[in-house]
Structure 1
């Protein structure tokens, strides 16, 4: 990436107003450390709140360039200027350490995905921050300019605008094709491979999690046989995705490890060995801008687990304001990600779903939405037992949705 402050300019320029306002109401599950033990979460969150609350005292000028924008964000209040510049440094540190704030807004998420195509210059001025963002890619220029327009709305409206999601601008055909490293034929093959792989991967993943020994043995054997048969084809297909065959080697090693663990009767450990595979393939597909519908489910899964696992470990005595604040944040994020699932078409023949399964899919997607709504209602009403019950209840409809894409045969 060509930038003076790496991706920090993106975050600094937008003041991180993109964070969903309702998702910023608390510091984290326990001990005030925020997501995944994030020691700086509370301080950074407080800075976001401060900037949002004082948005009327912030001024912003945007100059459109042929290849991007130049923005100047300032304030006459010295305290606001200090907090703005403090925020820039914090975001720079997050980016350098690979610890960005989670991106819920589709527009900002898309911009971050194209970080390597951004050229940014950032300057701290006496009364604020000046940023020049440019790109040689026409689609990324659209993203930059759309991002700048949305940030101006954040400055104008504060929390009211931060609660919204913002659409990704349409890509022109040349940009859309150049964004992918795969030809149309390679994309078609990779989509077909992904669906076929999931048909044998999902049963092994699910059955080991359900602690079913004999069915797990059959499923892992089928998965290993399939990957061994397809190995040469997959290596050729993944060539354009990565500089070497490491992703597929990693996947095969994980499957071999899971197979050995299943044979030893260690099903929980086998499940954990298989679990990272879906994230690895999701990232590989993202790398080439390949849209694979099940990746929407994979993205939701990680956030869902960050809700369900703490809730399963918690008891009524352990719940405090920090726990509830973190749960509230994750619930908002989960709801946003599920909205993307609801907007995704799963009608591709690659999935080999029957009419009955399509109907079941629609029912489960609706059931997950109902469960996500119930957790919001529980958080609003404040009954701790109901909150924990609602948090745990978001997993079953997701699991049933995901398992529809697996071929369980007689397992």
Structure 2
């Protein structure tokens, strides 16, 4: 565990130190995001922070290759270097978009090429821990892997709309998945785990960048950062679940058999939900799935009445609920885990809707007062008329 914490510290420290340099570089080459109608920020801000994250991740991987405990992961195969090569390629694609605003179809084609390269290099879903389910052919395995990578890349890209939001959500998911992959690795002959290594380095670069990206952000991660984060967290999940054989681990004691499928979904539940809602919303209006709008989850939080910081913190809370909530059943009886999740969900719901009801209560009181006054005005003349009639009789 101390080795993994050291790798996370290396990744975070390198990212934190390199981010100011990348910011100056982004300003010099013109990678500055102009204020658009859908944006929350009000001043032009440099982007391309993904380059600092990539350098931090690469630094951590090179350090890891020289640590005896996990150096065997680099000697027994080339999976680590395939992941790093794909990270470089996806970050370069994002940097091109940060500079020149690429067409969405061109960007999607680039994502597919990188995903196919990574799956061709050996990062594939060979089997899934659902009984005897095994992919039928190498081409099908590559297709499933490429689809998952592209979907996750765009899910994180969609949710990247507030300072610190996507880096915090991915860091939370990375911590949850690192814990899970570390527990799984304890049942293997060697405790070293490529998935845990990728996850802790991912958490490190997220935290290191977040120190510069908290509102008001000095630098945006841009597409180079959001696509890199989506790519890395998916690679880690594929490494740990794509070749997992439930018969080799003690599922009856610690690891429910469905967890390898459930956890990768829940780790990115919030970004995937936002992406699915956006695609359905835009297609229903006859628009392109990539057509920008101001109807994402974070935009709705601001419309309710949250500040940028409170919206980010509450969305982090929901991400933690989905990510860590699924882990609790590994260590806590299910009934207690469900009770805790229900209480946490209720508290988060109250926190989410509190500004809305705080704003609506005075409006409701005013509406009730106007309605009561209108009723009295209607009842007044009729009561007076009946009294005059009785007097004439």
TM above 0.5, yes or no, is: no
Report TM bin, short chain. under 0.3
Greater C-alpha Rg: 2
Q: When the two structures are superposed, what TM-score results if normalisation uses the length of structure 1?
A: 0.25
Higher fraction of helix: 2
User: What's the TM-score once normalised by structure 2's chain length?
Assistant: 0.26
